[in-house]
Amino acid sequence: MKIKDIPKSSADLYKSLLAECKPNWNIEITIEDYNLYKLGFVEEIPCSISLNVSREEIYELQEEILNMEVTIYSYEDLLYKNPIDMTNDEKKTYKELKELEKRYNKFEPLERLFSYYLAINEKEN
């Protein structure tokens, strides 16, 4: 799988996120056209990301990230509840949800990247 035309800073972000959540995936960043950047036609160096993974693995990662979102928002009322009014179980659940929300916010850019990539490739095929 190759995702083209990504700014260098975004490619680096995606690579670090993937390395953290899927350390066994082989991820390579390739500089596409350094001259465009050097000549001032683009603000960042255009890159591509190459992943040696199947579509199923991509779908699994997307589903994992989306499940985080669903879990968080299925307990949305608890997230806005005053901690003083919470039971001990609710406080425990609240803490777990906050940790999950933090993880979701960190990895959510990957879900957007893959959704975009898969949508573009389905149109081309």
Tens of pLDDT, residue by residue over 68-91, are 999 998 988 888 888 888 899 999
Distance between CA 60 and CA 72 in Å, rounded? Answer: 18
Answer with the residue of higher pLDDT: 97 or 116.
97
- Stated pTM of the model: 0.81
Pairing of the two strands 2-7 and 46-51: antiparallel
107 phi and psi, to 5 degrees?
A: -95, -5
> Do 8 and 48 meet the contact criterion of CB atoms below 8 Å apart?
no
Tens of pLDDT, residue by residue over 41-64, are 999 999 999 999 988 999 999 999
According to the model, what pLDDT value does residue 119 have? 77
DSSP secondary structure letter of residue 6: E
Q: What is the mean pLDDT of residues 4-12?
A: 92
Q: Would you place residue 109 in the very low, low, confident or very high pLDDT band (cuts 50, 70, 90)?
A: very high
Burial class, 97, CB count within 10 angstroms (exposed 0-12 / middle 13-18 / buried 19+): buried
Q: Whose structure tokens read 């949508």?
A: 119
Distance between CA 37 and CA 54 in Å, rounded? Answer: 32
